[in-house]
Structure 1
Amino acid sequence: MVRSSRGESTPGMWRREAGTVVRRALALPEQAAAPSSIVAGFRVVPVPTEYPPHEHELHELVWVRGGTLTSRVRNSVFTVFGGHGLWMPAGMVHEGRATAGAEFFHAFFAPEHTPFAYGEPKAIAMTPLLESLLTHLSRTDLDAAARARAESVVFDVMRPSERQFALQLPGDPRIDAIAAALLDDPADCRSLEEWARRLGTSDRTITRAFRQTTGLSFAQWRQMLRVHRALALLAEGSEVATVSEMLGYAQPSSFIAAFRRVMGTTPGAFFGAADGISGHVRNPVSRDQNS
């Protein structure tokens, strides 16, 4: 568990921002008791918002516009950004954090009426068609036949995203202190050798522990963590140069190169593509719902 600079516990993700609101997970919509398969809704998050560990009786799909959602499930951190959603299986304990201004959408799926099941959290491709169908299902005036038709198409078109963007946390006492420090401050630039001296171990031990627990080297893991954080900062409207400095890069070009290595494109091109996928112009400071 990471501690913020104010000494408060945070959800093992990023340092808690000033002005963050902590909300309990809200009760499921009343329509969830109806015999329908899917209940969808929408809310705007005006300030940074955290949702402590909770679970739902139904499967949940969440997606955002104009911001990001970070969700922690066991030792994995998922970042949800434009054009992608996150499927959370029923009964799985998770916690989340939405950036200020995020338009937060959700859909709950009754397990007994859902013809498929992803047993683990999974990134979902939020195509314009899927978003439109789920927005349509958020209406309360649909008759049973119209709702059933729309739900059947949702099940036909929902597909996992080609990019499953998750950060695996080590969960290893040999290197947990490194992970906690970097989550609290991604700009921490201490080298492998410096961490080895600090922890009274060898750089080979740290390297081996990272490989065994995350599948990445220490440098690769730190780079991945920084890109996760960058997605939230950029989605909120921060400039590339500002994000570069906040994440400990000597110059913006180094940050852009690191972002490209992880995401396959530059920050500007990436968010342009995400806006096109969602069919929505990104508003860095626009508009809350439970995760």
Structure 2
Amino acid sequence: MAPKVASGWRGPLRAGIDAHRHDDHQIAYAARGVVAVTTDAGSWVAPGNRALWIPAGTVHAHQAHGRLELHLVGLPATENPLGLHRPTVLAVGPLLRELIVAYTRAPEEDSPERSRLRAVLLDQLRASLQQPLHLPTPGTPLLRSLCALLYADPADGRTLAELGRAVGASDRTLSRLFRADLGMAFPQWRTQLRLHHALVLLAEEQPVTAVAHRCGWSSASAFIDVFRRTFGHTPGRAGGPPDQRPAR
């Protein structure tokens, strides 16, 4: 069965699609801008060298940031080349990028050429590395209260003990809850939150120095270092086609 395809969708800043589900698996790739997917389990965000795998039947909302150019490839629910059963961020190298763009722009009629293109695309997907860009949603009331403070202001630099006093819990209790509920330590979660927020601001063409300040880094150089180690490129290229926007 051939995949369903939607290609080349361009949206304004902060466009969104409310919670929905689809019967097919979906690959969402933003050739420009940043796309985020949110479920009850958390959020996943993908700049231009990442794609989102969304399994069939997953209730999710889309949020676009920046001037989005979105490419969607649908695969039948019976065909799961990656064996993934929850949303996942995947690395997109130059070849996979061009395959996705070419496939979604090609006519949808069945042809030997299109079948070969699809086969190579699936081979490249199988070789894609999974990326740890999931920001899990807290389930316990205490963590929801604490995380709400940081959602509102990612630059909030209070320690876990100081945040604990604001929500009425010890740092030891909160540290245990972060690991048990979210599967990561508090510093890891806060860094993920700040990176997610940074990608949104960069897609909206905010200067790197301003983004670093608004997201809680002590300097632009510290932010650039974390960003490069996480995404493999400088923050000046976030939200644009890979290798086509200079670092700022």
Q: Secondary structure at the match of 2:155?
A: coil
Alpha-carbon deviation of 1:178? 1.2
CA distance in 2, matches of 1:264, 1:108: 25
Alpha-carbon deviation of 1:135? 3.1
CA distance in 1, matches of 2:213, 2:97: 35
Alpha-carbon deviation of 1:272? 11
Question: Does residue 49 of the first structure (1) align with residue 46 of the second (2)?
Answer: no
Alpha-carbon deviation of 1:78? 0.7
1:75 aligned residue (17, 37, 41):
41
Q: Residues 219-249 of structure 1: CA distance to partner in whole angstroms, max 9, x if unpaired? A: 3321221012112222332222101221233
CA distance in 1, matches of 2:3, 2:240: 31
- Map 1:1-291 to 2 at 5 A: 35-112=1-78, 117-138=83-104, 139-140=106-107, 142-159=109-126, 160-259=128-227, 263=230, 267-268=234-235, 271=238, 275-276=242-243, 281-282=244-245
Q: Secondary structure at the match of 1:68?
A: strand
Using a 3 Å threshold, how does the CA distance of structure 1 residues 194 and 240 change in structure 2: closer, same or farther? Answer: same
CA distance in 1, matches of 2:84, 2:143: 31
Alpha-carbon deviation of 1:166? 1.2
CA distance in 2, matches of 1:131, 1:76: 26
Using a 3 Å threshold, how does the CA distance of structure 1 residues 274 and 163 change in structure 2: closer, same or farther? Answer: farther
Using a 3 Å threshold, how does the CA distance of structure 1 residues 147 and 273 change in structure 2: closer, same or farther? Answer: closer
Bigger fraction of residues in strand? 2
Q: Secondary structure at the match of 1:181?
A: helix
Q: Secondary structure at the match of 2:141?
A: coil
CA distance in 2, matches of 1:52, 1:105: 18
Alpha-carbon deviation of 1:90? 0.8
Provide the TM-score with structure 1 as the length reference: 0.73
Q: Residues 188-227 of structure 1: CA distance to partner in whole angstroms, max 9, x if unpaired? A: 2333222222222211111111122223332332122101
Partner of 1:9: none
Letter in 2 for 1:246: R
Q: Secondary structure at the match of 1:209?
A: helix
CA distance in 1, matches of 2:165, 2:217: 23
Of residues 234-243 and 48-57 in structure 1, the stretch that sits farther from structure 2 once superposed is: 234-243
In the comparison of the two structures, how many residue pairs are matched? 245
Using a 3 Å threshold, how does the CA distance of structure 1 residues 162 and 210 change in structure 2: closer, same or farther? Answer: same
Q: Is the 8 Å Cα contact of residues 58 and 90 (structure 1) preserved in structure 2?
A: yes
RMSD: 2.9
Q: Is the 8 Å Cα contact of residues 38 and 151 (structure 1) preserved in structure 2?
A: no
CA distance in 1, matches of 2:232, 2:101: 30
- Structure 1: which 5+ runs fail to align? 1-34, 285-291
Letter in 2 for 1:148: S
Using a 3 Å threshold, how does the CA distance of structure 1 residues 195 and 72 change in structure 2: closer, same or farther? Answer: same
Partner of 1:22: none
Letter in 2 for 1:263: T
Structure 1 outlier segments of 4+, above 6 Å: none
Alpha-carbon deviation of 1:88? 0.5
CA distance in 1, matches of 2:108, 2:164: 62
Alpha-carbon deviation of 1:92? 0.6
